[in-house]
Structure 1
Amino acid sequence: MTELKNRYLSLDVFRGLDVALMIIVNSAGNGSTTFSPLLHADWNGFTLTDLVFPTFLFVVGNSMSFSIKKYEAMGHAAFFKKILKRTALIFLLGFLMYWFPFFDDGQLKPLSETRIFGVLQRIALCYMFASIILHFVKTRTAIWLSLAFLVAYHLILIGFGDLTLTGNAVLKLDEWLIGPKHMYHGEGIAFDPEGLLSTLPAIVNVIIGFLAGKFIQKNGQNFETVSKLMMVGFALVFAGLAWDLLLPINKKLWTSSFVLLTCGIDLFAIAILIYFLDMKKMTSWSYFFEVFGKNTLFIYLLSEIFVISLYSINTNGESLYKWIADNVFISWSGGYVGSLLFALWVMITCWVVGYFMDKKKIYVKV
């Protein structure tokens, strides 16, 4: 637990907005009656939900732009110890989250069938690689490395597989490296949208978030900063849409075009928030999202454990999750509205915990 230092309001709100949306899209009361913007694209394409995870990585990079100053004063040994310790802890939390609730019908769930890669695991790996790169190289080199990662990933995808669910290079590497039992099965087959290979382009989301944060700190929160962020954002969106003609925008493969599109949108979003929150001081609405933004990782973990626990409790032959969704929300408001209300209930429940933590000045850092 720690006090918050060296933050700016727009970053906390941006992070909070993203976590709130992440909880909503992960907590649909009934997946078959969920409004389409709250669903991932089936394969190629893009929805609001597809923006959530890359934005999380972007704000991880943004936050790193504050902490990197402390790391510059460390020796290389101390730096690596700090980074690797944090990486291992976040990765372990993600692994334990997929293993939770650990027991099934009184038997310990087998580790041999527990998913290895996932959301927190990708955050951990991207944080580690981005930290090492940004610690050792200058800004210009980081930009060139980012471009090299995106081009290399494009070439690997088309050189070692196709762009289908069953024949892509991401799937092939994970099958060889960890095996199908350790992979995500939500697509109907063993395929992990947070697989090891597709972590390579995801590192770029963190690097661009870092460069944006560093630029904001250096140039201040003013019209020039906002306009430059928006111009670069427009350029990245345009580049992403152009690259889509060669390599489709695809969140599940985390294609290079997807990286540029999402980073461009994130630059637009942070520029708009800087204008309204830090420049115009229009903050009457912001506190709700600040609560999420100040304990991001903790609240995300809380939301996942809450949902998993609801699924794990049996009530009249069905999960408590489904019972609450059907009987408390969907029964009187209909499938689509009821599913949304259920997701909002989960989100508000987590917010209340975050609210009391903020009032007690409790901020959990990993």
Structure 2
Amino acid sequence: MAEIKADTATHHHHLNVSEPDISDHKPSKPKRVASLDIFRGLTVSLMILVDDAGGEWPVIGHAPWNGCNLADFVMPFFLFIVGMAIALSLKRIPDQLLAVKRVILRTLKLLFWGLLLQGGFSHAPDELTYGVDMKEIRWCGILQRIALAYLVVALIEIFSRGAQTKNMAPSGFSIFKLYYWHWLVAACVLTIYFAVIYGTYVPDWQFTVLDRKSIDYGKSFTVACGVRGQLDPPCNAVGYIDREVLGINHMYPRPAWKRSKACTENSPYAGPFRHDAPSWCHAPFEPEGIVSSISAILSTIIGVHFGHVLIQMKGHPARLKHWIPAGCALLVLGIILHFTHGAN
């Protein structure tokens, strides 16, 4: 997750609220959103904590599959920050074409750094071994996910601004109506996501262990599936689509599911596999893959909405009256999905 710091730095100078004074030759420096700066800093600190201590304390590391640990909040937090940055920065660029150019340029930068940092260029920094094997390069990653979410949500923000300017003083829940395009896209994303994960048929699949440090290097395994709508590690539609589109050799070789009870003796700690571990324990899985990255757009849209509340509603009481119910509603929905296994 350390690669996200490069992305947050690129967004740093855009997180402001005040409009620039274009009538003056020397415009005053826009004010910063201190709360967002603090939240970003805390998120980076959390990222460092779970990266460095997650191995020793699995309770704060990524959940092997089901569940939600402390580390699992980092990515949604960054996407939320990106969403707020979109709302706060694009309002300062009235020219639509210029805004689109800047969004596309930033997206390309994120994709470039994502491939460089997580594509496999640095195989072993401590041993100074570098270089990319294009047959095994990892196409997806943290910055690539942020790039996709940023591109989609920023373009929605740019092309829906005409409707937003008709009512620049929303009150109460009328702000949802003002930015209805965002929520329409969110509903479409959610519908597509659930349709894919529950409606896609996953056939049996094969893979070869490519980890040279593994005692099973070079061995081929077959995973029996032939099911539809399964959410378990070996037979979910998310992994199937990534294997078909990206190619299994271009996926993350050390997924968190290797620490699950089915795979590891001392789960959730990393360790040797059980003697009866199923074959899929050896397989790669892309945690920032295609389908899961599409669903990540929702976190960015929520961030955009909270950013618009900050801009449109004057005074902290009015903002809190909107943020608190919205936050509580999302929290309750998340808890319901968690305990009904709808979010797994």
TM-score range, shorter chain: 0.5 to 0.7
Offset at residue 13 of structure 1 (A): 0.3
Partner of 1:50: 72
Offset at residue 62 of structure 1 (A): 0.7
Name which of structure 1's ranges 221-230 and 50-59 shifts more when overlaid on structure 2. 221-230
Partner of 2:191: 151
CA distance in 2, matches of 1:13, 1:107: 36
**Alignment pair present for 1:63 and 2:80:** no
Partner of 2:122: 101
Aligned runs of 1:127-206 on 2, under 5 Å? 127-137=150-160, 139-160=179-200, 161=228, 162-187=230-255, 188-206=282-300
Partner of 1:20: 45
Asked if structure 1 preserves the Cα contact closer than 8 Å seen for 2:90 and 2:99, the reply is no
Asked if structure 2 preserves the Cα contact closer than 8 Å seen for 1:154 and 1:247, the reply is no
Which structure's CA Rg is the greater one?
2
Give 5+ residue unaligned stretches, structure 2. 1-9, 15-29, 164-178, 201-227, 256-281
Q: What do you get for the CA RMSD once the two structures are aligned?
A: 2.3
CA distance in 1, matches of 2:285, 2:186: 25
Asked if structure 2 preserves the Cα contact closer than 8 Å seen for 1:6 and 1:66, the reply is no
Asked if structure 2 preserves the Cα contact closer than 8 Å seen for 1:174 and 1:195, the reply is yes
Q: Which has the higher contact order (CA 8 A, sep 6+)?
A: 1
C-alpha distance 46-217 of structure 1, shift in aligned 2 (>3 A):
same
Could you say what secondary structure the match of 1:70 adopts? coil
Asked if structure 1 preserves the Cα contact closer than 8 Å seen for 2:122 and 2:131, the reply is no
Count of aligned pairs between the two proteins: 245
C-alpha distance 108-222 of structure 1, shift in aligned 2 (>3 A):
closer
C-alpha distance 106-117 of structure 1, shift in aligned 2 (>3 A):
closer
Partner of 2:301: 207
Give 5+ residue unaligned stretches, structure 1. 251-366
For each residue in 1:92-132, what CA deviation from the matched residue of structure 2 results, as whole angstroms up to 9, or x when unmatched?
A: 10110023436877673312212110111100111001111
CA distance in 1, matches of 2:108, 2:233: 30
CA distance in 2, matches of 1:108, 1:156: 36
AA at the equivalent of 1:8: V
CA distance in 2, matches of 1:100, 1:215: 41
For each residue in 1:248-289, what CA deviation from the matched residue of structure 2 results, as whole angstroms up to 9, or x when unmatched?
A: 333xxxxxxxxxxxxxxxxxxxxxxxxxxxxxxxxxxxxxxx
Asked if structure 2 preserves the Cα contact closer than 8 Å seen for 1:44 and 1:248, the reply is no
Q: Higher helix fraction: Structure 1 or Structure 2? A: 1
Asked if structure 2 preserves the Cα contact closer than 8 Å seen for 1:94 and 1:119, the reply is yes
CA distance in 1, matches of 2:13, 2:68: 38
**Alignment pair present for 1:242 and 2:331:** no
